[in-house]
Amino acid sequence: MTADENRPTGIKDNDEAPETIHAESEEESVTQATRLSARLIYEVIRRDGDEELSRPAMSLVWSGLAAGVLISMSVISQAVLHHNLPDADWAILVESLGYSVGFLVVILGRMQLFTENTITTVLPVISRRSMWCLNRTARLWGLVMTANVVGAMIAAGFLTLPGVVSPELYESLLAVARHAVEGDALTNFLRSMPAGVLIAAIVWIMPSAGGNSFFVILTLTWIMAAAGFAHIVAGSVEYGLILWNGETDVMTGLLRFFFPVLAGNITGGTAVFALMAWGQVRREVKQGTDI
């Protein structure tokens, strides 16, 4: 048998023109199957950021409010697992799966979550370098952060009302909340930086995740909970539970937990991840300078 006879059908010599794609449908299939490059992922997120920056203020407020309320599902689910699991070293690994529930609802539901915007709306600012982008980003951050916190506080207050949850589950809610908000200001700042990076990583991975988006969110938010990293919006529900239960005062909570975690999430999501993401594509994309 000659070498030509051994050659698989459809494989040609280097000097022959390839004929592996025979129809537009096949071309489309190859295009969809090709792994997205960093430049294309950047472009998807940048365009998404431009769209978010142009949304009406009330749309941002209502979406942010819904996200703040529904992120409480993370705390509730974690408390349910905490209540029903045995007191064992491995229990935290299962309990942390509950933390992913609220993030799945909010992110897959395309609601406004502040920590997502630390990369989504920052990439247009970095690339275009325009005052319009900067002003719009500050506007969006302010509206979404405020709406998220208000929604989280409403959810936390509702959970403290008599009869909403059983006394046993309420104690589990408080136990989860106490664990989440413990620590001094520096500790809370440091442990919130990785959470900002992980949420930004979710945003970066989602365009190429396709049907695996559920598992991307589940895995990275599970790591966030299991490792004890702090997230400002989910943490606001936990902080709200402690506040409504009379175990802390507003000023102490703000100085020891809220502001340090907020700063840490922004640092992780923007100063660390967004700038690194921009660094790998900055020489491959167009840049604007309409300041």
Of 86, 69, 105, 78, whose CA–CA distance to 222 is shortest?
A: 78
6 has pLDDT over 70:
no
Provide the mean pLDDT of the chain: 84
Of 288, 259, 261, whose CA–CA distance to 123 is shortest?
A: 288
**C-alpha to C-alpha distance for 178 and 186, rounded to whole angstroms:** 17
Instruction: Find out whether 239 and 258 touch, Cβ atoms under 8 Å.
Output: yes
**C-alpha to C-alpha distance for 43 and 27, rounded to whole angstroms:** 22
Average pLDDT, integer, range 76-86: 95
Q: What pLDDT digit, counting tens, does each position of 185-228 carry? A: 999 999 999 999 999 889 888 888 878 999 999 999 999 999 99
Query: Which pLDDT belongs to residue 15?
Result: 47
**C-alpha to C-alpha distance for 217 and 99, rounded to whole angstroms:** 11
**C-alpha to C-alpha distance for 273 and 267, rounded to whole angstroms:** 9
Burial 77-96 (b: 16+ CB within 10 A, else e): bbbbbbbebeeeeeebeebb
User: In the chain, what percentage of residues exceed pLDDT 70?
Assistant: 85
The residue ranges of every structural domain in the chain are 41-279
The model's pTM is 0.81
Higher pLDDT, 168 or 291: 168
The pair of three-digit structure tokens given for residue 16, joined into one six-digit string: 């022959």
Q: What pLDDT digit, counting tens, does each position of 11-69 carry? A: 444 444 444 444 555 455 445 545 677 778 878 888 888 888 888 999 999 999 999 99
170 has pLDDT over 60:
yes
CATH superfamily of 41-279: Glycerol uptake facilitator protein. (1.20.1080.10)
Which of 8-12, 71-75, 186-190, 249-253 has the lowest average pLDDT?
Answer: 8-12
Of 93, 71, 63, 80, whose CA–CA distance to 232 is shortest?
A: 71
Query: Which pLDDT belongs to residue 273?
Result: 78
Average pLDDT, integer, range 106-116: 91
Query: Which pLDDT belongs to residue 79?
Result: 96
Query: Which pLDDT belongs to residue 183?
Result: 87
Query: Which pLDDT belongs to residue 284?
Result: 67
Reported confidence tier of residue 144, pLDDT bands at 50, 70, 90 = very high
Query: Which pLDDT belongs to residue 31?
Result: 52
Reported confidence tier of residue 289, pLDDT bands at 50, 70, 90 = very low
129 has pLDDT over 70:
yes
Of 236, 249, 13, whose CA–CA distance to 114 is shortest?
A: 236
Query: Which pLDDT belongs to residue 287?
Result: 58
